[in-house]
Amino acid sequence: MRFFYIGSAGPLSRQPLEYLLSAGFEVCGVGLDPLPPDHTLSSPTLVLHDVDSLDVLARTKDLPVVALTQPLAEVLNAISRLQPDAILVSCYARKLPDELLDVVPLGAFNLHPSRLPAFRGPTPLFWQFRSGTPLFGLSLHRMTSQIDAGPVLASQSVSMPDGITMTAAIDRLSGLIAPLLEDGCAAIRAGELGAEQHSIDASYQGYPEIADFAVSVEWTAQRLFNFMRATEHMGQVYPCRIEGRQVLLRHALSYSSDQEIPTQAVENQTIRVSCTNGTLLASYYQ
């Protein structure tokens, strides 16, 4: 089976390609959006370990690289000339044109970092931490004209320990790539259509806005702690209504599932936030 691979920066794009190559699949080319020399990463997407990692890997393996920023006709011609059987996509933030989904005989498939149909969209890890979901995951689904809504061929799940950073969460998800693609590629080869997603369980979220960093004492202390720890690299404050006034929380320091938190010496001014279930200790801006 011959794949054309599409991705972006970061380990959740690089590692699926590494799996295909190590597992003996033929990869005929890689599609990506080239970054200009003076690029800036303005969107709060996944943590990026090395912004050129996928491009570097492709060129190291002498794989043809197709710039997806070209006119669509040129992209379609370039991919058609490579004669792939299927397209595999991982963590590519832009919607692929329908014409691109139909250019290969077996179809196009996307590796998405959530347990579909929940948390469709470009930044699912942010929203999973915000919602306090107990299980994270990866799903491999057939791509359709609707974003992240196609039938699911394989999925894997994992829990996240308290206080994990976004970088560490991505690394934890990376451990699911090999078993997911082993099952998924077998399903693609066998011509399986996949399990239809149930719209009643579906949710879609776009890129986070500043208002999405607001938190609530109605959350559990654990949820509040984990959301702040996972997203603190984004450099935002966390507005929270506490006893009738708005407090701008800064860093989550610790939490307790009961109402008692041991006193600890910290340099920044701290506040104890009584939540629905437990207490959060955090620094805040005066």
Query: Exposed e or buried b for every residue in 101-132, given b needs 16+ CB within 10 A?
Result: bebbebbbbbbbbbbbbbbbbbbbbbbbbbee
Q: What phi, psi does 271 have (nearest 5°)?
A: -140, 145
Q: How far apart are CA 40 and CA 276, in angstroms?
A: 40
Spatial contact of 184 and 90, defined as CB atoms under 8 Å apart: no
Residue with the two structure tokens 């805040």: 284
pLDDT band at 264, cuts 50/70/90? very low
Domain annotation for the chain: domains and CATH numbers: 2-201 (3.40.50.170), 210-285 (no CATH)
Q: How far apart are CA 235 and CA 83, in angstroms?
A: 44
Sheet containing 270-275: which strands, arranged edge to edge? 238-242, 245-256, 278-285, 270-275
pLDDT band at 286, cuts 50/70/90? confident
The predicted pLDDT at position 51 comes to 46
The encoded tokens of residue 62 equal: 């002498």
Query: Over the stretch 173-230, which tens digit does the pLDDT of each residue have?
Result: 999 999 999 999 999 999 999 999 998 999 999 999 999 999 999 999 999 999 999 9
